[in-house]
Amino acid sequence: MTRVSVHEIAAQIRDYRKKQGLTLQDISEMSGLSVSTLSKIENGKTRLTLDTALVLAGILKVPVTGFLAEDVVRPTARRSITRAGEGVVHDVNGLRFEVLCADFKEKRNFFWRVTVSARSLDEGGGWRSHPGEEFLSVISGTLELHTEHYETVRLGAGDSILFDATMRHAYVAAGEGDAVLLMSNTIPLDTSEEGGEAV
């Protein structure tokens, strides 16, 4: 399985920041992370925790899944609850991601309620890919799912799909209204020793 390395993630974060004309000091003030810590992240000298990846993705307005590449030992006997409408929301190119049940400090799975309003690939930010697997279940509306190696498929309420997220993919709303999805991203194990302390 292809995995995104710490250095590739570092380069992505730096590129996203520069494209938006933001300095490390700007990101520091918005995130609460020190400039020194942000510099280490951008130079691949430290690994992101999932919580830090969420914060940076929200500030840079990009999908957090592109920043994920690693895993840690999972504790047991935990639970996380997100009340209706209380999840952190990221708006990204015709997609609205509401983060669900993200309280665990160490986790391999991300859960989202996603509202797709984009009506074309360009409006939806084009192709994307990231490590791990992606599961989608359509709650309402109709989703048009584009994938690199398969024909475009339309999924309606109650339909589900699981696919390798390293394959390029894109989401478009079909029909009259938005498509609302339950999404889960599973992050692959990373057994490499690349990078330093987690942030």
Closest to 59 (Cα-Cα) out of 85, 87, 39, 88: 88
**pLDDT, position 66:** 66
Share of the chain above pLDDT 70, in %: 84
pLDDT, mean of residues 78-105: 86
Distance of alpha carbon 101 from alpha carbon 160, whole angstroms: 20
Q: What is the pLDDT of residues 114-165, one digit of tens each?
A: 999 999 999 998 999 888 899 999 999 999 999 999 999 999 999 999 999 9
- Give residues with Cβ within 8 angstroms of 170, minimum separation 6: 121, 124, 125, 126, 127, 128, 145, 146
For residue 189, what is the enclosing H or E element?
A: none
**pLDDT, position 102:** 82
Share of the chain above pLDDT 90, in %: 39
**Helical segments of the chain, H only:** 6-19, 24-31, 35-42, 50-60
Is residue 119 within 8 A of residue 141, CB to CB? The reply is: no
**pLDDT, position 191:** 34
**pLDDT, position 76:** 62
CATH 2.60.120.10 in the chain: give the residue spans: 89-186
Q: What's the CATH class of domain 89-186?
A: mainly beta
**pLDDT > 80? residue 51:** no
**pLDDT > 60? residue 49:** yes
Distance of alpha carbon 163 from alpha carbon 21, whole angstroms: 35
Upper half-sphere CA count for residue 195 (Cβ side, 13 Å) = 25
Is residue 199 within 8 A of residue 33, CB to CB? The reply is: yes
Distance of alpha carbon 55 from alpha carbon 57, whole angstroms: 6
The more confident residue out of 106 and 136 is 136
Number of separate helices (H) and strands (E) present in the chain: 4, 9
Integer-rounded Cα radius of gyration of the chain: 17
CATH classification for the domain delimited by 6-67, as one of 3.40.50.1370, 2.40.110.10, 1.20.210.10, 1.10.260.40: 1.10.260.40
**pLDDT > 70? residue 68:** no
The more confident residue out of 70 and 189 is 189
In whole numbers, what is the pLDDT of the chain averaged over residues?
A: 83
CATH 1.10.260.40 in the chain: give the residue spans: 6-67
The more confident residue out of 72 and 104 is 104
